[in-house]
Amino acid sequence: MSALAVTQPAGMRPRRLTPARIGVYAFLTVTALFFLTPLYVMLVTSLKPMEEIRLGAILALPRAPTLEPWIKAWSAACTGLRCDGISVGFANSVKILLPSVAASIAVGSLTGYALSFWRVCGAGLLFGALMIVAFVPYQIFIYPLVRVFAFAGINNSILGIVLIHTIFGLPTMTLLFRNYFASLPQELFKAARVDGAGFFRIFWSVMLPMATPMLIVAVILQVTGIWNDFILGLIFAGRENLPMTVQLNNIVNSTQGERAYNVDMAATLLTALVPLAVYFASGRWFVRGIAAGAVKG
């Protein structure tokens, strides 16, 4: 009786470790190591004094861990002639980031809303053009934009770089919000119109509250994108407002004499902290955002 009960399939199906499964785990482990090893090396190096680094054992844990390199990188490392550390760059990046993220999402969501609900003349054409422009490498725009901005007198200013990020963020943001709004039922829009709400009222009271998941995704995309930007910040922000990425480059590349690897590593980690934090805090939303464009919610 009991032997029969064992051989008869019942209840939960037993999980077996097949060769294919072992292969999958092996591949995942190797991949994880491949990406985690550099991070590990950076972290331990940034906590070692220079004497330990000179020994050359890059994988070894620090014997005498010190926060000295982090403090130096933050407030005393030299970027060219000035030695204020990377904190100046951090402040600049925040000053660029906040208005850029807000402006690009505000404009992008409004454009996406207008394109998906209001039958604007030539909406399809406009959207197509926007999409094509999204694929043009933006190095092409740089010189003409520098000339235009110089003519308008907003070159080398926070306003200039914010404007640049807003413009370059527009295609992606518009696509993101247009696709999301297009997946919402048209009847909702009709109901709001029967209720007498106008263009902005429908956007603000009905559509935007529904777009919360997309807003989060947009914030993630824009924060990481704008924070990691190098070339636009270098060209348009001006000498006073250079973002953290540019400052980091200056610290790493302008060292005289012995290379302070620990300080370089600490500065790099400090710069990477913001996008890293965003990824960690929002992994679920990030994946959802990537899928959102393709699959109807």
Partner 1 sequence: MGKLCDVSIRGVEISFGAVRVLEKLDLDVAQSEFIVLLGPSGCGKSTLLNAVAGLIDVQAGQIWIGGKNVTWEEPKDRGIAMVFQSYALYPRMTVRGNMSFGLKVAGMPKPEIERRVKAAAATLQITELLDRRPAELSGGQRQRVAIGRALVRDAGVYLFDEPLSNLDAQLRAELRVEIKRLHQRLAATMIYVTHDQIEALTLADRIAVMKDRVIQQLGTPNEIYRRPANRFVASFVGSPAMNFLPGAFAVREGAPCFLSEGIAIPLNGYAFEASPQDGAPVELGIRPEHVEAGGGVPAKIEMVEPMGSDQLAWLRVGGHPLSMRLPAEACTVAGAAMQLRLPADKLNLFDAATGRRL
The contact set with partner 1 (CB under 8 A) reads 185, 187-188, 190-197, 201, 205-206, 209-210
Indicate the residue among 82 and 190 with the shorter CB distance to partner 1.
190
Cβ(74)–Cβ(87) below 8 Å? yes
Provide, rounded to whole angstroms, the least separation between the CB of residue 263 and partner 1: 49
Indicate the residue among 122 and 257 with the shorter CB distance to partner 1.
122
Provide, rounded to whole angstroms, the least separation between the CB of residue 75 and partner 1: 45
Residue with tokens 């370059």: 168
Cβ(249)–Cβ(132) below 8 Å? no
Provide, rounded to whole angstroms, the least separation between the CB of residue 197 and partner 1: 5
* Cβ neighbours of residue 248 closer than 8 Å, sequence gap 6 or more: 86, 89, 267, 268, 271
Q: Cα separation of 79 and 250, whole Å? A: 5
Give the DSSP H or E segment for 235. Answer: helix 231-236
Indicate the residue among 144 and 185 with the shorter CB distance to partner 1.
185
Provide, rounded to whole angstroms, the least separation between the CB of residue 198 and partner 1: 8
Residue with tokens 């704008």: 226
Indicate the residue among 200 and 279 with the shorter CB distance to partner 1.
200
- DSSP for 219-265, please give it: HHHHHHHHHH--HHHHHHS-GGG--HHHHHHHHHH---SS--HHHHH
Residues in the chain: 297
Indicate the residue among 197 and 234 with the shorter CB distance to partner 1.
197
Provide, rounded to whole angstroms, the least separation between the CB of residue 126 and partner 1: 19
